[in-house]
């Protein structure tokens, strides 16, 4: 067992005072018996500089007194210490770097930041090599700083190289980072996570008022958001700090538990990946793909209450209850199939054909309405290549497009998989449709975003709470996609819209800054209710610019994402 700690505190502009703070809080964690301590990002100096000379002057040498003192504390407390600092390198380069010192005081791991945030691009260089995996007596862990955990690629790469634990050092005022992105990285990879954030001002105190006026961000949101936490492989928060005070949070972890990557249906979250599908993730982006899109679109989740084929009889009444401006509706995964699964494969396909005919007929009176459902369908017209669970998009004229499932679900060898993700341009925007099972794999949603998808329609049947609580929301936020996901399982779906005001350091017109940069606007699908209605804004998806030089798609860590293309042994 490992006793791990997330250390939450404030840093300022005095490097010596910051070292004293680090040592003091490390000593507090040692009293708690921590065998691994994770400190926040930019422990040596807040990320605010007068010029390049200042940035270099306050950055550290790897063998300098600051880091030697941290190494000595690791040795004296017989603990692993992960600390993030701005670090001097060769040829006048600076990096944002997480370092790990082992219980003998030796440097045993390093991870440079892969995705720089805003003004960090002015002072620092991106990582050119992968972060290390540290082998410890209690297990294997990897490190990444802040923004690297807001996107799926860096944590996924560490998992594929054997990490059982993530050490995430944060320097964040964003409330949605701690409430959404950080905890999502743990369950989607089935690993533990220790995330340490800052409190206190993230810019010099004497500049707070001026910066607040310039950026339109209230002063209270120019402080670290705290919320340091320890998360288990199923998305449960084991320990969490408050938002505004120095604190050490501790939890006992058995890293061997992260080796089981199976979902309840038997799906192995790593072995079921399809790396050949993800090639574009590791390809240099050229220019943003921005399809034309409507400013607003009425959408709905439908959830018939009847079971099996009887559910089809409810569709006409549900469609009649929709507002006239509704353009897209989504039904739950395999909504018209009996969950006892007693049908043969041919019978499942036959039911799929009857359902298609019935739903098409139900749409006759709605010329502008499209419906997305999930059915078992042959891969081709003659059925020679077998059948698949397939998301279909139809209107009153029949099938617009279909997307067979891309990832293996449990043990179902009789069902086939597609080898390509299809997108379709609708009058209101570019749409991707997926089987809910495919949402388990963040790579495929990233791929949809790279190809310019603005809306994602997903018939779902969630198996575990984290899929809805963290997985669904992080897919929308990480990629700036609107999502309409309908589910009839115990874990209901949701309609996720995008904030139209998004880019930091620009004027916002629809809202004041409230601490959330990109948290989706959620309309919950209530279990037991047949109809959930909302409005989404597909055009908002075209704005991927989080801050200066920080585009969610163009500035993704593609150079170091080749690990995501390697096959995983079952």
Helices (H) and strands (E) in the chain, counts: 13, 26
Query: Is 54 inside a domain boundary?
Result: yes
Instruction: Flag whether 272 is in a domain.
Output: no
**372-401 pLDDT per residue, tens:** 999 999 987 776 778 899 999 999 999 999
pLDDT digits (tens, 9 = 90+) for 17-45: 999 999 999 999 999 999 999 999 999 99
> Does the pLDDT at position 242 exceed 60?
yes
Rounded-to-integer distance, Cα 218 and Cα 203, Å = 13
Within 322-433, strands assigned E span 326-330, 370-378, 387-395, 398-404, 423-426, 429-433
Helices 182-189 and 153-160: angle between axes, nearest 10 degrees: 30
Residue 555's pLDDT is what? Answer: 92
Co-location of 556 and 436 in the same domain: yes
Instruction: Please tell me whether residues 396 and 327 are part of one structural domain.
Output: yes
Task: Tell whether the model's pLDDT for residue 570 goes beyond 60.
Answer: no
Q: How many domains does the chain have?
A: 2
pLDDT of res. 340: 72
Alpha helices in 423-472 (DSSP H): 442-450, 465-466
Give the list of residues 6+ apart from residue 313 with CB closer than 8 angstroms, or none. Answer: 306
For position 91, which CATH number holds? 3.60.110.10
* Residue 361: per-residue pLDDT: 96
For residue 176, the model assigns a pLDDT of: 87
Nearest Cα neighbor of 438 from 430, 448, 452 is: 448
Quick check: 404 pLDDT over 70? yes
C-alpha to C-alpha distance for 456 and 540, rounded to whole angstroms: 14
Is the per-residue pLDDT at 93 higher than 90? Answer: yes
Both 108 and 237 in one domain: the answer is yes
The verdict on 455 and 334 lying in the same domain is yes
In a domain, 105, yes or no: yes
Judgement on whether residues 248 and 289 belong to the same structural domain of the protein: no
- Do 207 and 298 share a domain, yes or no? no
pLDDT in the model for residue 370: 98
Task: Taking each helix axis as running N to C, give the angle between helix 15-31 and helix 65-76, from 0 to 180 degrees, rounded to the nearest 10.
Answer: 10
**164-219 confidence digits (pLDDT tens):** 999 999 999 998 888 888 889 999 999 999 999 999 999 999 899 988 888 788 88
- Domain encompassing residue 353: 284-564
| Banded model confidence at residue 569, pLDDT cuts 50, 70, 90 | low
Pairing of β 326-330 and β 297-302: parallel
Phi, psi dihedral angles at 34 (to 5 degrees): -70, 125
Q: Which of 209-218, 422-431, 485-494 has the highest mean pLDDT?
A: 422-431
What are the residue ranges of helices labelled H in 286-434?
315-320, 345-362
pLDDT for res 506:
84
Specify whether 252 is located in the same domain as 377.
Answer: no
In a domain, 88, yes or no: yes
Position 412 pLDDT exceeds 70: no
pLDDT of residue 243: 86
- In this predicted model, what pLDDT tens digit does every residue of 63-89 receive, in sequence order? 999 999 999 999 999 999 999 999 999
The mean pLDDT value for 339-344 works out to 79
């Amino acid at each position: 067992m490992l006793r791990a700690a997330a250390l939450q505190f404030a840093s300022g502009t005095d490097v010596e005072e910051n070292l004293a703070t680090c040592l003091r809080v490390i000593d507090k964690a040692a009293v708690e018996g921590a065998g691994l301590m994770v400190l926040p990002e930019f422990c040596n100096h807040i990320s605010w500089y007068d010029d390049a000379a200042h940035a270099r002057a306050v950055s550290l040498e790897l063998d300098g007194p600051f880091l030697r003192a941290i190494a000595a504390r690791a040795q004296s407390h017989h603990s692993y210490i992960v600390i993030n600092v701005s670090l001097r390198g060769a040829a006048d380069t600076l990096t944002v770097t997480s370092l790990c010192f082992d219980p003998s005081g030796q440097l045993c791991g390093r991870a440079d930041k892969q995705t720089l945030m805003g003004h960090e691009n002015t002072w620092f260089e991106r990582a050119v090599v992968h972060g290390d995996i540290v082998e410890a007596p209690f297990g294997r862990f990897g490190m990444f700083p802040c923004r690297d955990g807001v996107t799926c690629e860096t944590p996924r790469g560490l998992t594929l190289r054997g990490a059982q634990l993530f050490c995430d050092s944060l320097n964040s005022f964003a409330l949605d980072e701690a409430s959404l992105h950080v905890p999502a990285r743990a369950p989607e990879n089935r690993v533990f996570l220790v995330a340490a954030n800052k409190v206190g001002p993230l810019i010099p105190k004497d500049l707070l008022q001026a910066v607040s006026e310039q950026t339109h961000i209230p002063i209270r949101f120019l402080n670290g958001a705290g919320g340091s936490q320890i998360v288990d492989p199923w998305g449960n928060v084991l320990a969490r700090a408050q938002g505004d005070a120095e604190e050490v949070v501790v939890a006992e972890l058995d890293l061997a538990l992260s080796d089981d990557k199976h979902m309840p249906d038997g799906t192995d979250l790593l072995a079921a990946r399809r790396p050949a599908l993800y090639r574009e993730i590791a390809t240099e982006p050229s220019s943003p793909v921005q399809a034309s899109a409507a400013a607003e679109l009425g959408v709905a989740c439908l959830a018939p209450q009847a079971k099996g084929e009887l559910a089809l009889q409810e569709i006409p009444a549900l469609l009649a209850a929709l507002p006239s401006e509704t353009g897209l509706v989504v039904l739950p995964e395999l909504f018209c199939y009996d969950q006892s699964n007693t049908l043969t494969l041919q019978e499942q396909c036959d039911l799929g054909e009857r359902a298609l005919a019935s739903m098409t007929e139900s749409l006759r009176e709605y010329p502008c309405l499209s419906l997305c459902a999930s059915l078992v369908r042959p891969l081709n017209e003659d059925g020679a290549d077998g059948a698949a669970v397939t998301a279909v998009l139809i209107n009153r004229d029949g099938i617009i497009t279909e997307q067979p499932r891309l990832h293996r679900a449990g043990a179902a060898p009789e069902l086939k998989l597609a080898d390509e993700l299809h997108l379709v341009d609708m009058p209101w925007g570019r749409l991707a449709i997926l089987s809910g099972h495919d949402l388990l794999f963040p790579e495929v949603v990233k791929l949809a975003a790279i190809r310019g998808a603005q809306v994602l329609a997903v018939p779902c049947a969630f198996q575990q709470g984290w899929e809805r609580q963290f997985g669904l929301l992080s897919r929308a936020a990480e990629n700036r996609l609107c999502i309409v996901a309908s589910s009839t399982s115990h874990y209901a779906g949701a309609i996720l819209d995008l904030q139209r005001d998004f880019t930091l350091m620009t004027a916002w017109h629809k809202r004041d800054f409230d601490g959330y940069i990109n948290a989706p606007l959620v309309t919950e699908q209530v279990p037991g209710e047949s109809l959930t209605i909302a409005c989404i804004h597909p055009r908002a998806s075209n704005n991927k610019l989080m801050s200066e030089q920080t585009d969610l798609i163009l500035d993704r860590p593609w150079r170091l994402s080749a690990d995501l293309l390697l096959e995983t042994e079952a």
